[in-house]
Amino acid sequence: MRKVAIVGAGMTKFVRRALETPKELSYEAAKITLDSCGLTLEDVECIAHGTAPDAFDGLHQNGEYMVDGCGGWNKPTMRVYVGGGTGIHAVVHGWHHVASGLFDTCLVVCEEKMSSALPHAQAFFLTIFDSITERPLEPNLLWIFALEMNRYMERYGYTKEDMALVAVKNKLNGLKHPASQFTEEVTVEDVVNSEMMAYPVSRLDVSPVSDGAAALLLVSERVARRLTDKPVWIEGVGWSLDTAYWATRDLYYPRYTDTAARMAYEMAGIREPDKEIHIAEPYDPFGYKALHHMEGLQLSPRGKTVQLLHDGHFDIDGNLPMCPSGGLLGVGNPIAAAGTMKVCELFWQLRGEADGRQVPGNPRLGVAQSWGDLMQVSSVVVTGI
Amino acid sequence: MEDKIKVAGGTGLSAQDISSGKIFLTEDSLDCTYAWDTGVAVNRYLEELKKGKIIATRCRKCKRIMLPPRLFCELCFIPCPDWQYVQDSGIVNTYSICYVHWDASRIGKDEKPHLPAVIEIDGAAPGMGIMHILGEVEPQEIKIGMRVKAVWKPEAERSGSITDIKYFKPC
Amino acid sequence: MDKKVAIVGIGYSGFGSTTPDLSYREMIFEAATKCYQDAGGIHPQSIDSFVASSEDFMEGISIADEYVPDQLGAVLKPVHSITGDSLQGLASAMMQIKTGQQSIVAASAFSKVSNLSNHDGLVTYATDPFYIRPFNENPYFIAGLEMNRYLHETGTTREQCAKVVTKNRSNALNNPSALYGARIELEDVTEAPVLSYPLGIYDMSGHLDGSIVVLLASEERARELTDKPIWIKGIGWATDTPNLDSRIDGMGSAVYARLAAQKAYRMAGINNPFNEIDFAEIDDTFSYKELQHLEALNLCGPGEAGKLLELGCFAPDGDFPVNVSGGSLGGGYLHEANGLQRLMETVLQLRGEAGKRQLHDVETGLAFAWRGIPTATGAAVILSTRP
């Protein structure tokens, strides 16, 4: 299989409401990514870009509209779309471009501007539900997450305090991230006592609405050797989409994450992920989801994850640091961009460039995962140095 | 070190930047409505709901009785022409107590929270649930595993919609 | 490296101005079933990965990718959506096989445009919200601008554009799945009401509902699944600027088509496309587009397409048959599935399964699709009976 390396990464600050348009956010992330590895747009052969629902932007064919901000003028461009999973899936999509041998350089750009949607970005998620059998019930997006979180907690006897600890830890990590939209620590009490949105989901269990963009440059081995002595290799990719009949599967276990992770591990030659992987960036739009995904990623035994969390196993100096970036809860959640940010984090961590967040002990292998659609898709990327 | 974390752009705006007119906004909304073809399976489902019944389809190969009904089994990938009625009762697989409306606006002081649930319907294959809402129950009394039964709209008010079932109540 | 990839199965369903009998899921299930049957009766469990091409607002669903897996038999399989033309989706499927991680990949697309109340309004919604939308014009003015500029730059005539319509709608009469077959005169087209000068209403293709699923396989698997694999020799796609006012060259000539074709030809080792390719299925969403695309695809020089058309070069019995199927003008426009429709016709011709419209002695064909206004994205595929 043709080897593919990440040689550059960059992102905008994540903010509640950005002055920049989606095109401008894309430009900022793309430009700083190229600058970071000393390249110009002329060196880029193709663009693999991503952004989540068009409804946020009020633009039909949003991928076409944003493409010049991504550097796509007169280039092959292709937008990939798996809802919330898009940010990491775009890296898989970029990997396809280079690993296929069709291209040697591919700029991956993901952008999200959620603040344009009125009255609130959440309202646009009504239209993710089945148009005939579910939408007439006027569901809010939070319903499905609350239903899943409740089922997960019930299954293993986890408490709201257990779940709140994820938000506390991730937000603490995020304070050290230069792109984070947060400035304050929170406690378990803050999370549990924050406004109840949809039991068992409280406001601080949820990642925020954000604007932002993130980008990566993927290149073939030949180009990588020329550009840097510290390429970060894409060792494995996997993705899986479960049935759209979401209410017919048991929500306590993310089997789509399980399948996607196994596919990526097989490619990477990983047999014991919980022992071999040094850093995990599971998708954490809600606190419980990070734990749910750690189980699906085979990085934590089912039902034992809360204990490991309490024991500090997932802390930056623990055995398996989880979300050292701060994740979506700690940096922000501009949907597609947030996933790409996680792979940016692996890039910086594995190169030892993560400053105050640096995971000690020269980590060599990391996994990032995103989740989306109707709680049914996972995309997994394994990177190594 | 030349390669440090690269962050650029993302200029935050405050509510005041907007209310004071410092930032210009262009408003627009999509003028387009959709009339989805319901097709064979869902059309029959809605037709039966109008009659006060819940109907499923059965896969001849894997034997699953599937809800919502479908023309084909997505796992065996064969057509499923066999229809089968199921009960209008079931058990709560999971639930939530939701204090926001679909558009993220908060519910009013006098409004009751929404009570969405996944309900595993009696007579369907194990685990075959549908999303619906609960009613005639105090939120704190809801339990996973609780038995519930459909409360239907009066026949004259039914329109061939999932909302022909008003809600499910404990039984 | 350099794994060969073939089309090993193809199926379609729907193909009507309305399709009220089936939901989109049921329509796709039908097409997928036919496609898998066409590939030796393969069960989807044996397919490694799936790609759909779709746009949310066309379906009235946010994140349309959610509803992709079931009707393709792809539950818990690698699935993703490309928001692009289905030939871009095909490229994604092909790249997956070329990485070596997958061996068999399905690509699908569909249109249920009949379920939309206001398609033109939706197209406006794809234009720039600050610079274009405030004019509140019907979006087809963009096609009028392009057509006028194309005629001005190349000396192509209004009548030559009309001839594309009469040719393609007449071709469609030999295609049982084409909806808009008709025998019409040049004057019917030139004297039809004008929508946006010089574009008249007969210069536009009509809407079509339908679904297409194709199956791709690596060389090794292709040989097992079919005895008539059609090989993808080259593929390319490209995007010009989305800003209408920055399309300096792109108003008169289809820059995206030129760039996409260059890539596809290079990959296929084609130096002289007119001589090395036997026929083409080319986007003709609007009449002038067929001519403009022929020139951009380097099948003739600027301003030559209209003249060659009048000489009969692009007729079914001409030197270089174009849109023998009837194209979109004769068959109907399938929106995101447009590219797979062009591809399907090319595959049928190469397999010798095109019925009354079958061309003789064809070995290599070109399919080209454009994403329609206001976009400037297109994709080209070279197919051949020889690996």
Which candidate in B28, B74, B78 is best for mutational testing of the C interface (most C CBs within 10 A)? B74
Q: Which of C22, C117, C129 sits opposite B39 (nearest CB)?
A: C22
Contact A287, A191 (CB under 8 A): yes
CATH, residue A16: 3.40.47.10
B30 close to C (CB below 8 A): yes
pLDDT of amino acid A162: 98
The C-alpha angle B104, B109, B111, rounded to 5 degrees, equals 75
Query: What six digits make up the tokens of A235?
Result: 């060792």
**pLDDT digits over A92-104, tens only?**
999 999 999 999 9
Residue A142 domain-assigned (yes or no): no
**pLDDT digits over A288-300, tens only?**
999 999 999 999 9
Shortest CA distance from B166: residue in chain A: A137
Residue A192 domain-assigned (yes or no): no
Residue B1 pLDDT exceeds 60: no
Residue B154 domain-assigned (yes or no): yes
Cβ–Cβ gap C129/B28 under 8 Å: yes
Cβ–Cβ gap B32/C122 under 8 Å: yes
| Domain residue spans of chain C | 5-112+210-225, 137-203+233-387
Residue from A330, A327, A322 nearest A344 by CA: A327
Count of domains forming chain B:
1
Question: What would the DSSP string read from start to end of C70-112?
Answer: HHHT-TTB-EEEESS-HHHHHHHHHHHHHHTS-SEEEEEEEE-
Cβ–Cβ gap C63/A89 under 8 Å: no
Contact map slice: C 105-134 vs A, CB within 8 A: 122-123, 125-126, 128-129
Say if domain C5-112+210-225 classifies as CATH 3.40.47.10. yes
Q: Which run of H or E residues covers position A347?
A: helix A335-350
Domain that holds residue B145: 37-170
For the structural domain made of C137-203+233-387, what CATH number should be given?
3.40.47.10
Tell me the chain C residues in contact with residue A68 when contact means C-beta distances shorter than 8 Å.
Answer: 241-243
Residue B27 domain-assigned (yes or no): no
| Cα separation of the two ends of chain C | 15
Please provide the average confidence, as pLDDT, over all residues in chain B.
Answer: 93
pLDDT of amino acid A50: 97
**pLDDT digits over B97-106, tens only?**
999 998 889 9
d(CA C381, CA C332) in angstroms, rounded, equals 21
Inter-chain contacts counted by CB atoms under 8 A, chains A and B: 196
B40 close to A (CB below 8 A): no
3-state secondary structure A218-265: EEEHHHHHHHCCCCEEEEEEEEEECCCCHHHCCCCCCHHHHHHHHHHH
Contact A49, A218 (CB under 8 A): no
Cβ–Cβ gap B11/A19 under 8 Å: yes
pLDDT of amino acid A57: 87
Cβ–Cβ gap A131/B133 under 8 Å: no
Task: Give the model's confidence band at B59: pLDDT under 50 very low, under 70 low, under 90 confident, else very high.
Answer: very high
Please provide the average confidence, as pLDDT, over all residues in chain A.
Answer: 96
The pTM is what?
0.97
Q: Which run of H or E residues covers position B66?
A: strand B65-66
The verdict on ipTM greater than 0.90 is yes
Residue B13 domain-assigned (yes or no): no
pLDDT of amino acid B4: 61
Residue B48 domain-assigned (yes or no): yes
Task: Give the model's confidence band at B5: pLDDT under 50 very low, under 70 low, under 90 confident, else very high.
Answer: low
3-state secondary structure of C182: coil
Tell me the chain B residues in contact with residue C25 when contact means C-beta distances shorter than 8 Å.
Answer: 39, 70-71
Residue C123: how many other CB atoms lie within 10 Å: 20
Residue B165 domain-assigned (yes or no): yes
Cβ–Cβ gap C2/A255 under 8 Å: no
Residue B29 domain-assigned (yes or no): no
Domain that holds residue A285: 4-117+208-384
A99–chain B nearest CA distance, Å = 25
Count of domains forming chain A:
1
Low-confidence ranges of chain C (pLDDT < 50): 1
Helical H segments across chain C, by residue range: 24-38, 56-59, 69-72, 86-99, 119-124, 141-154, 158-171, 186-190, 219-225, 255-268, 273-276, 287-296, 305-310, 327-331, 338-351
Cβ–Cβ gap C115/B31 under 8 Å: no
| C367 strand-pairing partners | C281, C381
Residue from A335, A378, A350 nearest A110 by CA: A335
B123–chain A nearest CA distance, Å = 14
How far CA C224 is from CA of C8, C221, C227, in Å, comes to 10, 5, 8
Cβ–Cβ gap A136/B130 under 8 Å: no
Residue A94 domain-assigned (yes or no): yes
Query: What six digits make up the tokens of C150?
Result: 């194309």
Q: Which of C24, C29, C117 sits opposite B72 (nearest CB)?
A: C29
C: neighbours with 3+ CB pairs under 8 Å? A, B
Low-confidence ranges of chain A (pLDDT < 70): none
